[in-house]
A and B are shown apart, each in its own frame.
Chain A
Amino acid sequence: MTVSLGTLVIDTEACKGCELCIDACPPDVLRMTTDIVNERGYRYPQLLPGCIACKACTAICPDFVFQVYRYEQPQQHGEAAE
């Protein structure tokens, strides 16, 4: 069971795959795709449960890929959730 305090909208087509967000994320819930790329051929980040809506990813992103939302109520993700 993992709790998320927030979530992201990721504009995957804008990403250039620099991976700065991966290191910047304090709860370490962003990971790069391994075999999926966007139209321009770059890998892009995906979100795992556990986001704390701290805005570190959107602060460091040079390509303005992220939009950060903070939940009114923390959301729980079960082991078998979608």
Chain B
Amino acid sequence: MSGRTELPVIRTDAPPACAARLVHDFTPALIDVGAHHLCPGCGEPIAMRSMVEQVEELDQVRRAIAVFGIGCYTAYSNNLDIEVLQALHGRAPSLATGVKRCRPDTLVFTVQGDGDMVNEGLQEVLHAAARGENITCFMLNNGVFGETGGHMTAATVLGQRTKNTLDGRDAAQHGYPIRLADLIAQLDGAAYVARGAVNNAVNITRTNRMIKNAFRAQLEGRGFSFVEILTMCPTGWFVDTLDAPAYLDEALAATHRPGVLKDTSKPAAPVSALAPVVAPESAPASAKGTTA
């Protein structure tokens, strides 16, 4: 590293003077204003970027309608260059159901957090999935109610520190976390269920693909599609911004395992959908209690 610091710093205040091709711009075309007031190191803008980039890649900009829940990400409802509806806390899947039934030609997706979806509106999303509504739901799972102070949600993993579980979530006192994607994967109405993460470039690329497949499931009319995205919340986790990606891997991803849980466009999907629940390889002993 000592040799590295002697290298000259390259000027980065203007585009290069020599022949070069722009391969990635600051802000996705569908985000009007890139500036936001979310905390440093937050994972939600990364997930928002993935969503709007996939809307653009699938050429659905004119037909996309987003339904927002309530959380830190709600700040984006004013910044997007697509139609946005604001739902009551946890009720986004029901509102999206109405929109999609009235306007079947649109691409309707909800953006919700784990507090919004699992705590406030669990029945909304479960019933929408069971009915096989042709909508897409995204859940930004960071394990805390970020906007209202960082307290525990139903998806907070065991041992995770939050504002009201300062010694870590304890199964005896607070119960076990709900693994929503695994729950939804068991419903027959769900066509595509996946869980991604945005803690490194590889996971972001995988999550992009999941989001695209979820949108495709809706566009092909195959039924309910759901992508859970694990995001960093260094403020709510009491960790350094630089340590947050590793913490996500060690704590959240150990319980909420990333991967495609169900994909009806491929045969033999239902078996893999149950695999993470039935046979967790290195899940803690307490996790078995969740499925019991």
Chain A interface residues toward B at CB < 8 A: 2, 4, 6-12, 14, 16-20, 22-24, 28, 31, 42, 46-51, 53-56, 58-73, 75, 77, 81-82
Contact = CB atoms under 8 A, between A and B. Distances in A.
A53 B24 CA distance: 9
Nearest to A45: B12
Interface stretch (B42-50, B54-62, B97-105, B141-149): B42-50
Given A20-B41, A22-B242, A75-B18, A6 B5 contact: no
Contacts of A18: 40-41, 234, 241-242
Given A18-B40, A19-B241, A63-B45, A46 B9 contact: yes
Contacts of B285: none
Contact of A14 (B11, B22, B34): B34
Contacts of A60: 46, 198, 200-201, 204
Given A7-B10, A46-B9, A49-B7, A62 B242 contact: no
A82 B12 CA distance: 13
Contact of B7 (A11, A16, A42, A48): A48
Contact of B19 (A8, A55, A64, A72): A72
Question: Lowest 8 CB-CB distances: which A-B pairs, in order?
Answer: A18-B41, A16-B40, A72-B19, A18-B40, A56-B201, A18-B241, A64-B34, A69-B20
A75 to B, nearest CB: 7
Contacts of A8: 12
Interface residues of B, number: 47
A55 B23 contact: yes
B232 to A, nearest CB: 8
A26 to B, nearest CB: 8
9 contacts: A14-B34, A18-B40, A18-B234, A48-B9, A59-B46, A59-B205, A60-B200, A62-B38, A69-B22
A28 B205 CA distance: 20
B15 A9 contact: yes
Contacts of A42: 40
Given A7-B10, A19-B241, 18 more contacts: A7-B12, A12-B13, A20-B41, A20-B241, A23-B245, A31-B5, A48-B8, A48-B9, A49-B10, A54-B201, A55-B23, A60-B201, A63-B35, A69-B20, A69-B23, A70-B21, A72-B18, A82-B8
Contact of A69 (B11, B15, B26, B36): B15
A59 B35 CA distance: 16
B289 interface: no
Contact of B23 (A6, A17, A73): A6
Nearest to B5: A31
Given A20-B241, A24-B201, A82-B8, A63 B20 contact: no
A47 to B, nearest CB: 5
Contacts of A82: 8, 11
B14 A9 contact: yes
A51 to B, nearest CB: 8
B4 interface: yes
B41 A62 contact: yes
